[in-house]
Amino acid sequence: MEKGKTSTYYANNPDAAAKHRAYQRKLNKKPEQIKYRSKLNNARRKRGIYGKGGGDLSHSPSGQLRIQKPSTNRAANGHGNNSRYA
């Protein structure tokens, strides 16, 4: 399988990759991010899909959690044409 654009960029630009990882470490330490991940992990455990791969739990516009393909969920980040909120 071919690498995506972002993965290829970071592979060719180690300084940018290091900066990105530093930003992610800082972001993931925030209490609201920890709470958000915990909520999704608990929901995955209740559905019996935690640790088994498969779909992501995504938030619908109404705030409900649903199983969705990871590629679709991760593209729906509010930017460009792939956003489900555009």
pLDDT averaged per 10 residues, the chain (length 86): 89 97 97 93 90 83 86 72 51
Residue 83 · residue 77 · CB < 8 Å: yes
At 79 the pLDDT is 59
At 52 the pLDDT is 83
Interacting residues of 62 by C-beta distance below 8 A, sequence separation 6+? none
